[in-house]
C-alpha cells in the first residue's frame, strides 16, 4: 500500500466535502437535529396523565383520595365529571386518558371498615402507557388505603399495624428512572449507523455517474488505497459527530457518563469504520446514487431502530426475530454505549460485544476492498 496515493485520495474527498455544503450539512447538522428531536420529543416517561374525576360521595374521605391524585406528579386532574356520559365523551375526544369514579357509599364503607371499591377507567389505545398509568393509580390508592388502616388502628387502640411483606425498592444505574438516560446513548448508535452508511453510499456511485471513475481506474492507485482513502475523510467527520453527540448528551441532556471516555470513543471508531465500509460496499455494488441511498436507509435505519434494543427489548421479541438481531451491528454498539454510560462497565465486562463489533468492522473493510475492481464493467 502506497501512503502517498492513499493520502491523495483522502485529500480529494476532503476537498469534495468542503466544496459541497450539502454533504457537510448531512454529516454534522442532521445528527444534531436528530438528537435534539429524539432527545426532547421521544420519552417513555409517563407523567401528568390527564384524568377526569367523578366524585359521587363528595365527602372528606373522597376529597382526600382525589387530592392524592392531584398531588401526584403522574396525574393531572383535567375535569370533574357528572356522570359516565361525560367521561365517555372526554376519553373519546382525547381530553383525558383515564377517569376515577368514586361511588356514593364510599365514605360509609370507609367509616365502617368495609371494603370500598373505586373504579379506574382508562383508555387502552396506548397499551404501554395505560399499563404504567394503571400501576401508578394502584400505588396511589394503596397508599391511601394503608393510611386509613393505620388511622383505624390507632383509633381502635392497636399499637402497631404491620404489613406481612415490606418491599424496599432500589434502582441501580438509572436511579431517577429517566428514559432519556438510556434513549440518548442508544440514539447515538442509531444515528451514527444511518449517517455513516448514507455518506459513503454515495461516494463510489457518484464517481460512476459523473464519469470520473474512468480517470481513477487509469491511475496506478490500488483498490484498497482507493477505498481507505475515501473512508478517511468521512471517518474524521463521523468522529466529529460522535464528539458532538456525546457533548450534547453530557451538557444539554445531563446524561451521566460513568465509564471510560477512551473506551467510548475507541468503540465508536470501530463501529464507524464498519458502518462507513458498509455504505461503501452498497455504493460499489449499486453504482447508482439514488439506489444506493435508498438501500442504505433500508439496511441501516430500520434494523438499527427496531432490532438493536434501542427502543424495544430484544428479550420480548419472538425467538426467530431474536436470532436475526445477532447480525445487526447496532445491537452490540447500543449495548456497549449503555454499559459505558449508565453502568460504568469496562472492557472486561463488554468484551463479547467489543469483539463482535470489531469483527463487523474488519469484515466490512475487507469486503469493501474486495468488491471494488478497477474495471469499467
Q: What is the pLDDT of residues 164-216, one digit of tens each?
A: 444 456 667 777 777 788 888 888 888 888 788 777 877 777 777 776 766 77
Q: Which domains does the chain have, with CATH numbers?
A: 9-43+178-371 (no CATH), 49-155 (3.40.1710.10)
* pLDDT score at 289: 79
* pLDDT score at 207: 74
* pLDDT score at 130: 84
* pLDDT score at 114: 78
* pLDDT score at 46: 78
Q: What is the pLDDT of residues 311-368, one digit of tens each?
A: 778 877 888 999 999 999 999 999 999 899 988 888 998 999 999 999 999 999 888 8
pTM of the model: 0.77
Output the tens digit of pLDDT for each of the chain's 377 residues: 677 878 887 887 788 777 777 767 767 787 888 888 877 777 767 788 999 999 999 998 889 999 999 988 889 999 999 999 999 999 888 889 999 999 998 888 887 777 888 899 998 877 777 888 888 888 888 888 888 777 766 665 555 555 444 445 666 777 777 778 888 888 888 888 878 877 787 777 777 777 676 677 677 778 788 888 888 888 988 898 899 999 998 898 888 899 999 999 999 999 999 998 888 888 888 878 788 888 888 888 888 888 888 877 887 788 899 999 999 999 999 999 989 998 888 899 899 999 999 999 999 988 888 877 655 45
* pLDDT score at 292: 82
307's CB contacts (< 8 A; 6+ apart) are 314, 317, 321, 324, 325, 328, 330, 331
* pLDDT score at 159: 54
* pLDDT score at 291: 84
* pLDDT score at 5: 79
Beta strand pairing call for 49-55 and 75-80: parallel
Amino acid at each position: 500500500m502506497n501512503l502517498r496515493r492513499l493520502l491523495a485520495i483522502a485529500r480529494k474527498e476532503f476537498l469534495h466535502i468542503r466544496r459541497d455544503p450539502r454533504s457537510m450539512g448531512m454529516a454534522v447538522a442532521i445528527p444534531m437535529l436528530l438528537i435534539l428531536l429524539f432527545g426532547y420529543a421521544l420519552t417513555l416517561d409517563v407523567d401528568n396523565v390527564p384524568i377526569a374525576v367523578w366524585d359521587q360521595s363528595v365527602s372528606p374521605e373522597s376529597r382526600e383520595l382525589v387530592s392524592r391524585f392531584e398531588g401526584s406528579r403522574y396525574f393531572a386532574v383535567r375535569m370533574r365529571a357528572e356522570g359516565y356520559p361525560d367521561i365517555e365523551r372526554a376519553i373519546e375526544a382525547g381530553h383525558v386518558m383515564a377517569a376515577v369514579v368514586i361511588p356514593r357509599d364510599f365514605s360509609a364503607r370507609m367509616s365502617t371498615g368495609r371494603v370500598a371499591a373505586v373504579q379506574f377507567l382508562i383508555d387502552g389505545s396506548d397499551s404501554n402507557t395505560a399499563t404504567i398509568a394503571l400501576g401508578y393509580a394502584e400505588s396511589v390508592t394503596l397508599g391511601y388505603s394503608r393510611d386509613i388502616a393505620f388511622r383505624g388502628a390507632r383509633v381502635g387502640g392497636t399499637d402497631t399495624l404491620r404489613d406481612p411483606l415490606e418491599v424496599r425498592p432500589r434502582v441501580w444505574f438509572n436511579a431517577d428512572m429517566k428514559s432519556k438516560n438510556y434513549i440518548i446513548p442508544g440514539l447515538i448508535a442509531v444515528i451514527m449507523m444511518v449517517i455513516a452508511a448514507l455518506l459513503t453510499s454515495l461516494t463510489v456511485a457518484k464517481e460512476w455517474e459523473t464519469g470520473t471513475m474512468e480517470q481513477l481506474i487509469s491511475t496506478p492507485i490500488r483498490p484498497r488505497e482507493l477505498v481507505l482513502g475515501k473512508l478517511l475523510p468521512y471517518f474524521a467527520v463521523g468522529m466529529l459527530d460522535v464528539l458532538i453527540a456525546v457533548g450534547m448528551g453530557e451538557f444539554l441532556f445531563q446524561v451521566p457518563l460513568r465509564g471510560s471516555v477512551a473506551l467510548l470513543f475507541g468503540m465508536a471508531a470501530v463501529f464507524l469504520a464498519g458502518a462507513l465500509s458498509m455504505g461503501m460496499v452498497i455504493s460499489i455494488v449499486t453504482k447508482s446514487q439514488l439506489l444506493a441511498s435508498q438501500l442504505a436507509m433500508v439496511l441501516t435505519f430500520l434494523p438499527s431502530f427496531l432490532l438493536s434494543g434501542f427502543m424495544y427489548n430484544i428479550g420480548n421479541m419472538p425467538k426467530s426475530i431474536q436470532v436475526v438481531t445477532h447480525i445487526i451491528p447496532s445491537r452490540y454498539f447500543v449495548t456497549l454505549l449503555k454499559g459505558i454510560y449508565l453502568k460504568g462497565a469496562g472492557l472486561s465486562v463488554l468484551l463479547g460485544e467489543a469483539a463482535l463489533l470489531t469483527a463487523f468492522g474488519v469484515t466490512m473493510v475487507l469486503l469493501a476492498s474486495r468488491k471494488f475492481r478497477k474495471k469499467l464493467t
